[in-house]
Amino acid sequence: MALPKRAIAASFLPDRYRYWYSLSKLAMDPLYEAMPGAFDDEREPLLDLGCGIGLLLHCLRAGGCNLPYVGVDTDAMKIDAARDASARGGITDANFQVCDLSVQFPKHHGSVALLDVLQYLPQQAQGTLLAQAAQCVSKQGKLVIRTGLADGTWRSAMTRATDRFGHLVGWMKTSFKAQPSAQELRAVLQRHGLQAEFKPLWGRTPFNNWLVIARRSASAAA
């Protein structure tokens, strides 16, 4: 099902900046079209780490995915925008909270989304956040990550450069810190009993973005 991109973007009005930002993100980044599919077999409550303005929630609801949702982000202005837009979009059952994940981690059991957030944390903090996220994943839940990967390719360099530029021009309050490698990611998830599948998710963009879906491995879930 195609996402109702204009209707989702319209829920950010009268803020025209957020309207155009969300419309262009929804139109150009394959992440959002992929999300209803990534969660379509999902019943577990979802914790969206670094939720930004809450686009994931709109995409899930538009795709008929009604699982309980909590979104957290360190940027209080984005959380306000997410609350306003979800209410304007007629979503009354979502919860958004300000939370700096490098300082605290919300209590949760179910599924977790971590979309385009890891690169804003130093390498050691990435490991801590991944461990905390993995520990929340229930037997039936999953951890869905979208991240750039450090693999020496031109896409990887382009992704780092764009993340740095995004901070310089003020799109992102937090600055780029580090890109994880697939090996590091897989290892930390495995240590916490999760098996991960990696798929490229860059669409027509020049970025080295990957979708990682991790579930509790059969032996760990038993």
Closer to ligand SAM by CB, 126 or 141: give it. Answer: 126
DSSP 16-58: HHHHHHHHHHHHH-HHHHHHHHHTTT--S-EEEET-TT-HHHH
* Amino acid found at 209: N
Shortest CB 70 distance to ligand SAM, Å: 13
Instruction: Report how far residue 36's alpha carbon sits from residue 56's, in angstroms, rounded to the nearest whole number.
Output: 9
> Hunting for tokens 């209803």 — which residue is that?
36
Instruction: Report how far residue 25's alpha carbon sits from residue 9's, in angstroms, rounded to the nearest whole number.
Output: 10
Q: How many residues does the chain have?
A: 222
DSSP 5-24: HHHHHHTTTT-HHHHHHHHH
Closer to ligand SAM by CB, 107 or 222: give it. Answer: 107
Closer to ligand SAM by CB, 31 or 196: give it. Answer: 31
Shortest CB 35 distance to ligand SAM, Å: 9
Shortest CB 117 distance to ligand SAM, Å: 4
Shortest CB 168 distance to ligand SAM, Å: 14
Write out the two tokens for 196. 């991960």
- Asked if 5 is part of the footprint of ligand SAM (rule: CB under 6 A), the reply reads no
- Asked if 78 is part of the footprint of ligand SAM (rule: CB under 6 A), the reply reads yes
Strands 142-148 and 209-216: antiparallel
Shortest CB 138 distance to ligand SAM, Å: 21
> What is the spatial order of strands in the sheet that 209-216 belongs to?
94-98, 69-73, 46-49, 111-115, 142-148, 209-216, 194-200
- Asked if 33 is part of the footprint of ligand SAM (rule: CB under 6 A), the reply reads no
Q: What is the dihedral of CA 129, 133, 135, 139, to 10 degrees?
A: -160
Closer to ligand SAM by CB, 101 or 130: give it. Answer: 101
Only segment of 47-55, 133-141, 178-186, 187-195 that touches ligand SAM (CB under 6 A):
47-55
Closer to ligand SAM by CB, 78 or 155: give it. Answer: 78
Subset of residues 172 to 211 that bind ligand SAM, contact rule: CB under 6 A: 174
Question: By rule CB under 6 A, what string of x and - marks binding of each residue 94-133 to ligand SAM?
Answer: ------xxx------------xxx--x-------------
How many residues sit in the footprint of ligand SAM (CB under 6 A)?
A: 17
Task: Summarize as ranges the residues that interact with ligand SAM (CB under 6 A).
Answer: 50-52, 55-56, 73-75, 78, 100-102, 115-117, 120, 174
